[in-house]
Amino acid sequence: MPDIDKVLEAEESIRTIATELEKMKSAAELMDSAQEKIDAVIETSKDIITKTGEFVKEGTQIVERLGDYDIQGDLSKIIENTEDIKSDTKEISKSLTDMNTRLENIKTDLETISEEDFREVKDSLNNIKDQNQQTRKIIIGLIGGNIILGIILLLKVFQIL
């Protein structure tokens, strides 16, 4: 009979290990999903940076054609603001890359975590999610700022014509 008890005890241990492995698998899948979303945000940020540069270039060409110093002064301010936005976007992109690195480290750590550590990782992921949501709001604000700056520029151009 003692052998049967050991077998039952071993079977219970195997079930417990299987349950923990399922939890770790689920956490790893969540990490992969978060990674994909962060990669998409990084790519979008890069596109914004590129398009902001194109916007600045086109705005500069329009001002050169008009040759009006007052508009150039206003456009310089707009370009300066756009450059600030571009710089902010680059900083956001770097922050997202840093978050991506942190997520990779968390993913590696998931393989050896305990139940308590798992809760801490979950809290960290929720914090990163909140930061990503704040970053998205900032990016949307920056895009809105670019659109407003473009509209202001166009209004100034058409006032002179």
Tens-digit pLDDT profile for residues 14-53: 899 888 888 888 888 888 887 888 888 788 888 888 888 8
Please give the Cα distance from 65 to 137 (Å, whole number).
Answer: 36
At 128, which amino acid appears?
I
- Terminal CA-to-CA distance of the chain, rounded, Å? 100
Q: Is 67 helix (H, G, I), strand (E, B) or coil?
A: coil
User: Helix H segments across the chain?
Assistant: 2-66, 69-109, 115-160
Residue 82's pLDDT is 82
pLDDT tens, the chain, 161 aa long: 568 888 888 888 889 988 888 888 888 888 888 788 888 878 888 888 888 888 888 888 877 776 655 666 777 787 888 888 888 888 887 887 888 788 788 777 766 666 777 777 788 888 888 888 888 888 888 888 888 888 888 787 777 64
Residue 161's pLDDT is 47
What's the length of the chain? 161
Residue 2's pLDDT is 60
